[in-house]
Amino acid sequence: MHLICWSAPRCRTFLSWRAHVTAAAQAHVFDIDTANFETEVLRASMTTPVLVDFWATWCGPCKTLGPMLEKLAVEYNGAFRLGKVDVDKNQELAAMFGIRSIPTVMLVKDGQLLDGFAGALPEGELREFLSRHVQPLGDEASAEPEVTGEEDPAQAINRLQQEIAAEPERAELKLDLALALMRNGQADAAEAELNALPANLATDARAVRLRSQLDLARALEGAPSLAELRQRVQADPADWAARDLLGVRLLLEDDPAAGLDQFLAILERARDWNEGGAKKRLLAAFATLDDAELVGRYRRRMASLLF
C-alpha cells in the first residue's frame, strides 16, 4: 500500500511527540491494532464515540494534528476516545478504511463509520467537526447561551453593547455581539468584532462558523443573480467560476444540498481550479450548516473524490 503525507511538500522523520503525552491524555488516548480493533473501537463505540487517527512517524502534518487531537480528547473529558493507528505497523487496518493519505481521521459511533476528514485541520475546524457529533462532558457552561423571549438582532446588539460597556473584560460578549451584528446584516461590523477577539475565542466553534459565513457572503459581492448563474452553467457546464458562485448562492439562499452539489461537481472535474477552491468552499459550507446528517453525507462524498 502506497501512502502520501497529506498537504505537505515533503515528510520528515521526527522524534515522536507521543513520548510527551500527559497522564490526563493517556486516560482518553490509546493505540489501535488488529488485536484490539473490534473490542476497543467497534464495540466500545456503542457507548462512547471513537475518533480514529491514522498517522505515521514520517508524516510531518501528523506531528501538527496529533497533539491537537490529544488536547481535545482531554478537554472533552471522555466524551470521545482517541485511537491512534500507526499505518506502517497496521497496514491491514489502513487498507480496511481505504486510507490513501495521512493524516486521516475517522469518527466511529454505534459501531459505524459516521464521519471523517483528511489533512491537518486548524484547531477551530477540529472543534467544529467534533461539535457536530459530541459535546464535552461536564462543560455545560461553554454551550452557547440561549436568548429568551422574542429579542431581534437589533435588540441583541443594543443589549450586548450595554453589557460590554459595563463588563469590558468579558470577551465572550464581544463574540456574541459579532454574531448579532451578522444576523442583523452588518457584515463589516461583525468582521471588525471578530478580528478583535482574543486568541482563545478566535478558535471557538461559533467564531469559526461566523468567519466562514463572512467569507461566503463576501464571495457574492457584485455577483450575478441566481437565474443568470444558472443560465451560464447550463450553457457551459465547465464555467467553474459561475458554478462556484451558483453554489454559494444556493447555499445561502436555502438550498444547501444543491449548493454543495455544485462544489462537488467542480471537485470531481476540476480539483485544482482556483487553487483547490471547491474543497475550500465545501469546508466553509460545512462550518456554517446546522444539519449534521447533511454535512456528514457530503463530507463522505468529498472524501470519496479526494481519495
Cell of 135: 459535546
Mean local confidence (pLDDT), 264-282: 93
Q: Reply yes or no on whether 59 is catalytic.
A: yes
Residue-level pLDDT at 3: 53
Q: Are 69 and 82 in contact (CB under 8 A)?
A: yes
Degrees to nearest 5, angle at CA 72 with 96 and 91? 20
Return the closest-CA partner of residue 137 out of 239, 229, 48.
48
Residue-level pLDDT at 148: 45
pLDDT at 140 over 50: no
Q: Distance between CA atoms of 252 and 214, rounded to whole angstroms?
A: 11
pLDDT at 176 over 60: yes
**pLDDT above 90 coverage of the chain, percent:** 36
| Stronger pLDDT, 89 or 304, i.e. the higher one | 89
Which candidate in 5, 56, 59, 180 is catalytic?
Answer: 59
| Stronger pLDDT, 171 or 263, i.e. the higher one | 263
Mean local confidence (pLDDT), 23-28: 64
User: What's the whole-model pTM score?
Assistant: 0.52
Q: Are 206 and 142 in contact (CB under 8 A)?
A: no
Of 185-199, 219-233, 280-294, the range with the highest mean pLDDT is: 219-233
Beta bridge partners of 112: 109
Residue-level pLDDT at 8: 43
Which candidate in 62, 233, 245, 278 is catalytic?
Answer: 62
Mean local confidence (pLDDT), 69-76: 88
Residue-level pLDDT at 24: 52
- CA separation, residue 113 to residues 96, 105, 290 (Å): 12, 11, 20
Average pLDDT, the chain: 83
Q: Reply yes or no on whether 62 is catalytic.
A: yes
pLDDT tens digits, one per residue of 127-138: 888 888 887 765
Q: Are 136 and 77 in contact (CB under 8 A)?
A: yes
Residue-level pLDDT at 150: 60
pLDDT at 271 over 80: yes
pLDDT at 10 over 90: no
Residue-level pLDDT at 99: 87
